[in-house]
Chain A
């Protein structure tokens, strides 16, 4: 099994953190994993993205140019990466921030108003983890179990109070059927 995941959005939306969680979950499931961020000035407010690879075999190139799973949290990212995805790819779209639909008809698109849901749930900074929850529901990349143990690895001790909120975000996304 090989999952090539690309997560993209604005800097500050937690794109890198979401990728780190997925990578840690992969590690927890005894997969080979790699995580590669964009690290340019875009981290400070422009577009940010990160490549996550989960594999049964050692990871070669850590760069995801043609994702089979794409999570997009702003329009420029969908514009940029829609055509890069492979045939049959799964694209998770934050429909609060992206009004247009996916144009390609050879991929599976899933729309979730993650940013609005995060605001409604009182966890406005965690739309990223709602997206991850939805991704787990719609793909076979990782499974929805032991979330708390994995979250403990990525949420720093300083922010331990955010563990519950992250868990809630993951569940909110995982349960969303739309």
Chain B
């Protein structure tokens, strides 16, 4: 256990962000992610960083916008209702082509909802969320180790493509403790010639902006951004494939739902049902080709989600509706049991 410590998922995010060179955190407390802010409040002053509890989520995301414009690694975190409040700022950051990390430790909704775990912000995270033509890079951790690793990855991807990244976790992932090894990160010094840091009268000043009143100019920025999105889709898809080699049925699930589904897959295998699991790690870009390939191999899919069924639409699109896709879900803070997932796998196996 030399280098492994037990940490809450929320704490792992915070420590990993610091390791990744993030020295600026702005947020507003909300369950179930407040440990991130608490951790930052304790650590940032000791390492010359900024922790600031803003007066609101909207203020916090606009502070992120400012620091991102100056070219420094910066983040905010919240939970579902708070992330809804941030959407205007997120759209501005995407429109200004700035890198930043937004963490959403999801809870049940809509509205103020509840405080128990949920995955019902999938649409909001993966389809834009705010107004306008944009995407976030969306990463979905399924362990405390991944809470740390994907936080670092998110900063790197965001800097590389100048696209804001979102870590989409849930209350379970935020609150649970697991052993985690925090890697020492070699923070790559990425040139940010676009950053607004003062010109020293040596060059023309940079402009960070998301306002383009001439439609042809705005169209051009959107075309350019979508070219970067195409590169991300081509190069950055991440997923885990579990027992898919000989699978006749495929469960698709991310985050906590994937953890539960693994138990169900093993139980189904014990009953002789050949089932596997595909776990998207990047929700955007979605592992479309992997699902498409699986559609030629398996007789059907089960999408397991802590929502009324959101990712299931992407599974159907990716598989071109070639095979049936069943939904196994709980919502509002309830979590499906491995038995419920197993029952749905059996239902699929009985009917295909």
The residues of A with any CB-CB pair to B shorter than 8 Å are 20, 23-24, 27-28, 30, 32-37, 39-40, 59-63, 65, 153
**B184 CB, min distance to chain A CBs, angstroms:** 21
CA distance A40 to B176 in the complex (A): 13
Residue numbers in B under 8 Å from A20 (CB-CB): 6, 177
**B111 CB, min distance to chain A CBs, angstroms:** 18
Residue numbers in A under 8 Å from B260 (CB-CB): 60-61, 63
Interface residue SS majority, chain B: mixed
With A33-B179, A36-B175, A39-B31 as given contacts, are A61 and B262 in contact (CB-CB < 8 Å)? yes
**In the complex the two chains form, is A35's CB within 8 Å of B176's CB?**
yes
Contact residue among B1, B172, B178, B266 (Cβ-Cβ distance under 8 Å from A60): B266
Contact residue among A27, A36, A37, A65 (Cβ-Cβ distance under 8 Å from B4): A27
CA distance A35 to B143 in the complex (A): 12
**In the complex the two chains form, is A65's CB within 8 Å of B337's CB?**
yes
Query: What are the nearest 8 A-B pairs in CB distance?
Result: A60-B263, A60-B262, A35-B177, A61-B260, A36-B176, A39-B175, A61-B263, A34-B178
**In the complex the two chains form, is B338's CB within 8 Å of A59's CB?**
no
Residue numbers in A under 8 Å from B338 (CB-CB): 60-61
The count of residues in chain B whose C-beta lies closer than 8 Å to any C-beta of chain A is 23
**In the complex the two chains form, is B335's CB within 8 Å of A27's CB?**
no
CA distance A28 to B1 in the complex (A): 6
**In the complex the two chains form, is A33's CB within 8 Å of B6's CB?**
yes
**In the complex the two chains form, is B178's CB within 8 Å of A37's CB?**
no
**In the complex the two chains form, is B259's CB within 8 Å of A30's CB?**
no
**B107 CB, min distance to chain A CBs, angstroms:** 10
21 contacts between A and B (CB under 8 A): A23-B6, A23-B177, A24-B6, A27-B179, A33-B178, A34-B177, A35-B176, A35-B178, A36-B172, A37-B175, A39-B171, A60-B266, A60-B338, A62-B176, A62-B178, A62-B259, A63-B172, A63-B335, A63-B337, A65-B337, A153-B6
Residue numbers in A under 8 Å from B262 (CB-CB): 60-61
With A27-B6, A63-B335 as given contacts, are A39 and B1 in contact (CB-CB < 8 Å)? no
Chain B 250-266: CB-based contact to A (< 8 A → 1; otherwise 0): 00000010011011001
Nearest chain-A residue to B5 (Cβ)?
A153
Excluding A28-B1, A39-B171, 9 further A-B contacts by CB distance (< 8 Å) are A20-B6, A20-B177, A33-B178, A36-B177, A37-B175, A40-B116, A59-B259, A60-B263, A62-B172
CA distance A20 to B179 in the complex (A): 11
Nearest chain-A residue to B263 (Cβ)?
A60
With A24-B6, A39-B171, A60-B338 as given contacts, are A34 and B176 in contact (CB-CB < 8 Å)? yes
Residue numbers in A under 8 Å from B171 (CB-CB): 39
Chain B 145-189: CB-based contact to A (< 8 A → 1; otherwise 0): 000000000000000000000000001100111110000000000
Tell me the chain B residues, 1-58 only, with Cβ under 8 Å from chain A.
1, 4, 6, 31-32
B115 interface hit (Cβ, 8 Å): yes
Residue numbers in A under 8 Å from B266 (CB-CB): 60
Tell me the chain B residues, 329-352 only, with Cβ under 8 Å from chain A.
335, 337-338
Nearest chain-B residue to A62 (Cβ)?
B176
CA distance A35 to B8 in the complex (A): 9
